[in-house]
Amino acid sequence: MKKEKQISVVVPAYNREHLLPRALASIAAQTVHDFDVILVDNNSTDGTLALMERWAAEQPFDVRVLSERRQGAAAARQCGAEAARTPWLRFFDSDDVLVPDHIENILKAIEQNPEAGLIGWPIKLILSPTDCRTGDFVTEDMQYRSLMNGIMGTERWCVRRDVFTRAGGWCLEAGVWDDIELGARMLAQKPAVVKLCDAPQVDAYLQPDSITQGETAANIAAIDRALSRIEATLGPDKAHWTALKRMIVAATTPGDGGEELRRRVLAEAPSHRAVLRFAYAYTRRGGRGIARILRLLRLV
């Protein structure tokens, strides 16, 4: 009897004809192929869709190619998730690279930890050819660490589909920080969490035109909306966490948008104003790691 596949790898892409071959090659190079692959084109205007279809036809394993007309990373990922037939989901960005035994490691962890609802791992963040950092995954204080340090960034986890579904799936209106927002809702389900290993499992490349927008002066309003969604998930007793994150964003965002956000946070903050002012000033002067410092001092 053929063993049921455990995990689907969902790869969304928008105009990634120039980068997608590297990501797909890392899928083809996996040490096992007992998993589903779902490629989702998100209205590309270059040759991305044709590339997906050619690659799928050339593989000795099953690959499905879908198209999602709703624009945005969340919509493309949700399309792939809804098409998946496996109990586990792994979302993989089209500009990154998997280590060869990544899926094999996940399948072993699933088998060894039947109670697990979420499995995570570190990644290598490649910001430039000369600037590489490790993005860790931790299983303690996860809501705070996800909000402040991005440990629930898309490339750092896979999830049991029922946990994903109960959380409500991807928020199509997010556009910015949609992975961190989804992470907050998934962690609120209190799944059993397993750390896969200490070695980075993905080379994650920073791209200026990423399918998920980053933090810029142009999208500070969208970031603010994402933080409001996260605040609703965390509840009123954690409102000072999102206020702190807003102050860090304000301190690192040039122009009127950052200053306007700073004033509003201080006006609305029910408590912790001295801590928030210090966090802003420290970060504004180029200081790093203020969220971790304040946590160690038990000030947040």
Q: CA 258, 264, 268, 270 torsion: positive or negative? A: positive
Tell me what pLDDT residue 82 has.
98
Tell me what pLDDT residue 129 has.
86
**According to the CATH classification, is domain 7-205 in 3.40.50.920?**
no
- Residue entry with tokens 């509840």: 235
- C-alpha to C-alpha distance for 29 and 16, rounded to whole angstroms: 20
Tell me what pLDDT residue 69 has.
95
pLDDT band at residue 254 using 50, 70 and 90 as cut-offs:
confident
Residue 11 has pLDDT above 90, yes or no: yes
Tell me what pLDDT residue 211 has.
46
- C-alpha to C-alpha distance for 197 and 199, rounded to whole angstroms: 6
In the chain, where does the domain assigned CATH 3.90.550.10 lie? Answer: 7-205
DSSP-assigned beta bridge partners for residue 40: 12, 66
255 against 273, higher pLDDT? 273
For residues 75-89, average pLDDT: 98
Q: What is the pLDDT of residues 153-193, one digit of tens each?
A: 999 999 999 999 999 999 998 778 999 999 999 999 999 99
C-alpha distance from residue 297 to each of 231, 285, 290, 294 (Å): 22, 20, 11, 5
Tell me what pLDDT residue 269 has.
82
C-alpha distance from residue 237 to each of 157, 270, 286 (Å): 27, 11, 29
Tell me what pLDDT residue 213 has.
45
For residue 152, the 8-state DSSP code is T
